[in-house]
Amino acid sequence: MKKLKLRGKDLKAIGYAEGRAIGIALDVMQKNYKHSTKKEALQILKEVIENPPSYMQHPSLSKVAEALTHKINRGNVEISLHNSTPDYNVFGPEQIEAGAIKQMDVAMRLPITIAGALMPDAHQGYGLPIGGVLATENSVIPYGVGVDIGCRMCLSVYNLPETMLKEDKHRLEKILVQNTLLGAGKDFSKSSDHPAVERHEFDALPLLKSLQSKAAKQLGSSGSGNHFVEFGFVEIPDKENDWRDTCRKISRGALSFWLKRIGGFHSVTLYKGGDGKMPVAKRGEAPCMVIA
């Protein structure tokens, strides 16, 4: 006698939804009904899906019934938001648009939410505000991620006189214009030869391969939205210590401050100029601390 041959599409045709119930049903039928005809097997499975509770004690079909019951129960349960919004930190609330705060309020009411915060540059996003931080328990929320993957802020520190900001303002602007692009979809005229665009992942994944040439022309660009560059002053009172030690103190202090609040991590890259002139990172490099 021929063995039973069933496929997932056969079960879908009689009402089984895509998921683990199909796999369990196929396994059960192959082990316990392998000498049944395809028509007989499908009739049995149809009766199970029409009334799963009546098969919960069945010696072989109970696994199928349990899988179906779990699917049905989970699909029919509506998970409500909490009635009130828990407190969360908002840094610079006077500068944050109402839409971003409303989105964060809703996210904080999710049953899976543990804590949250809004950063000073927060603005309305998709499921979660850009600049919003949400800590959840045993959950992944794909809709909470926007399109700015790896978006961050970098601090570059130069050992230069304050007068330079006024006297060399136009030269500094020129350096920025030459080394980055602001605006969506902007390409450099020459492709970058940075090692990042030669990584093996471009050859391993067809999607990345199709984007390799674009990456080579956009590496080092700043995109659009709330991306910006600004100048200011940083005071380092401990001038006796080596610049490396000073750098560590600044970065350690900044990291500790934010880690306590958002539990995040940002890597710090250190560079040192050799002649006291404005050091310019190569395109594609974004140093967090630069000491001349």
pTM: 0.39
Greater confidence (104 vs 232) lies with 104
pLDDT of residue 272: 34
CB 158 within 8 A of CB 271: no
Q: Are residues 116 and 136 in the same domain?
A: yes
Instruction: Establish if 81 belongs to a structural domain.
Output: no
pLDDT of residue 237: 67
Q: Please choose, from the candidates 201, 181, 176, the residue with its C-alpha nearest in 3D space to the C-alpha of residue 192.
A: 181
Instruction: Establish if 64 belongs to a structural domain.
Output: yes
pLDDT of residue 284: 40
Greater confidence (258 vs 203) lies with 203
Instruction: Establish if 118 belongs to a structural domain.
Output: yes
Residue 108's CB: how many other CB atoms inside 10 A? 21
| 263 backbone φψ class: left, alpha, beta (φ>0; ψ -120 to 50) | left
**Strand-pair category, 89-90 with 113-123:** parallel
CB 280 within 8 A of CB 269: no
1 has pLDDT over 60: no
> If you average pLDDT over residues 73-93, what whole number do you get?
79
| Domain final position from 76, 102, 122 | 76
> If you average pLDDT over residues 254-276, what whole number do you get?
43
Q: Write the DSSP assignment of 94-118 as a string of letters.
A: GGS-HHHHHHHHHHHTSTTEEEEEE
Radius of gyration of the CA atoms of the chain, in A: 29
Q: How far apart are CA 48 and CA 194, in angstroms?
A: 60
The total of structural domains in the chain comes to 4
Q: Are residues 170 and 265 in the same domain?
A: yes
pLDDT mean across residues, the chain: 76
192 has pLDDT over 80: yes
pLDDT tens-digit readout, 127-140: 788 889 999 888 87
| Domain final position from 171, 192, 222 | 222
Q: What value, to the nearest 5°, has the Cα angle with vertex 125 and ends 120 and 127?
A: 120
Q: How far apart are CA 117 and CA 98, in angstroms?
A: 15
pLDDT of residue 146: 58
Q: Are residues 101 and 210 in the same domain?
A: no
Quick check: helix, strand or coil at residue 271?
A: strand
Residue 201 parent element (H or E): helix 201-204
Q: Are residues 107 and 241 in the same domain?
A: no
Q: Are residues 170 and 241 in the same domain?
A: yes
% of the chain surpassing 90 pLDDT: 20
> If you average pLDDT over residues 138-165, what whole number do you get?
74
Instruction: Establish if 212 belongs to a structural domain.
Output: yes
Q: Are residues 174 and 187 in the same domain?
A: no
Q: How far apart are CA 287 and CA 290, in angstroms?
A: 6
pLDDT band, very low/low/confident/very high, at 116 (cuts 50, 70, 90): very high
pLDDT band, very low/low/confident/very high, at 41 (cuts 50, 70, 90): very high
CB 153 within 8 A of CB 252: no
Highest averaged pLDDT of the listed ranges 66-75, 147-156, 214-223, 262-271: 214-223
Q: Are residues 159 and 290 in the same domain?
A: yes
Q: Are residues 208 and 139 in the same domain?
A: no
117 has pLDDT over 90: yes
> If you average pLDDT over residues 21-47, what whole number do you get?
91
Q: Are residues 167 and 255 in the same domain?
A: yes
pLDDT tens-digit readout, 42-51: 999 999 999 9
Q: Are residues 263 and 170 in the same domain?
A: yes
Q: Are residues 129 and 66 in the same domain?
A: no
> Could you list the residue range(s) of the whole structural domain that residue 208 is in?
183-222
pLDDT tens-digit readout, 215-248: 898 888 877 666 777 788 877 666 555 555 555 5
Instruction: Establish if 2 belongs to a structural domain.
Output: no
Q: Are residues 99 and 158 in the same domain?
A: no
Instruction: Establish if 131 belongs to a structural domain.
Output: yes
